[in-house]
Amino acid sequence: MAEGRIPELVRGYFHAFQSADREVMESLLDDGFTFTSPWDDHIDRAAWFARCWPFAGTFRFREPMKTMVEGDECFVLYETEGKPGGTFRNTELFRFEGDRIRSIDVFFGFVPAGAPASGS
C-alpha cells in the first residue's frame, strides 16, 4: 500500500466511529484485526465490536489530527469532545494489511482506580 493512502484510511476509521457507521467500519477492519489498550489486551474484532462499538457516536474527534506514517504503520494523536461534555487526548498506532486495519494499539496515561489492568 502507498503510504499516502494511510492517513485517509485512518481518518475514515475515526469518521466511521464518530458517525456510528458500522458498515464502513466493517469494511475498514481486517478479519484478523486486534486491538490493545491499557484496558484491552490484544482483543479480536468481535470483542472490539462488543466492547468499543457501543461508544460509537458518543463523541467528536477534533481536527486537525496529527498523523505520522512509516511503511504500513501510522501513529495518530487526537483529541475528542464528548457529547455530554469532557475531553480526552490519545495516541494510537495503526498497522495495515493492504487497505485494511490489521491492528490498533492505544496509548493513554491514566487508568482510573478499579479499572482492569491490561492482560487481566
Q: What percentage of the chain reaches a pLDDT higher than 90? A: 70
Amino acid at 58: T
CA–CA separation, 25 and 94 (whole Å): 14
Residue 111 clears pLDDT 90, i.e. is over it:
no
- Spatial separation of the C-alpha atoms in residues 45 and 107, rounded to whole Å: 19
69, β-bridge pairs: 74
Query: pTM here?
Result: 0.85
- Rounded to whole angstroms, how far apart are CA atoms 108 and 89? 8
Angle at 59 between CA 55 and CA 60, to 5 degrees: 140
Q: Answer yes or no: is pLDDT of 73 > 80.
A: yes
Using the predicted structure, report yes or no on whether residue 56 has a pLDDT greater than 80.
yes
Average pLDDT, the chain: 88
pLDDT tens-digit series, residues 5-38? 999 999 999 999 999 999 999 999 999 999 999 8
**CB-based contact 59:80 (threshold 8 Å):** yes
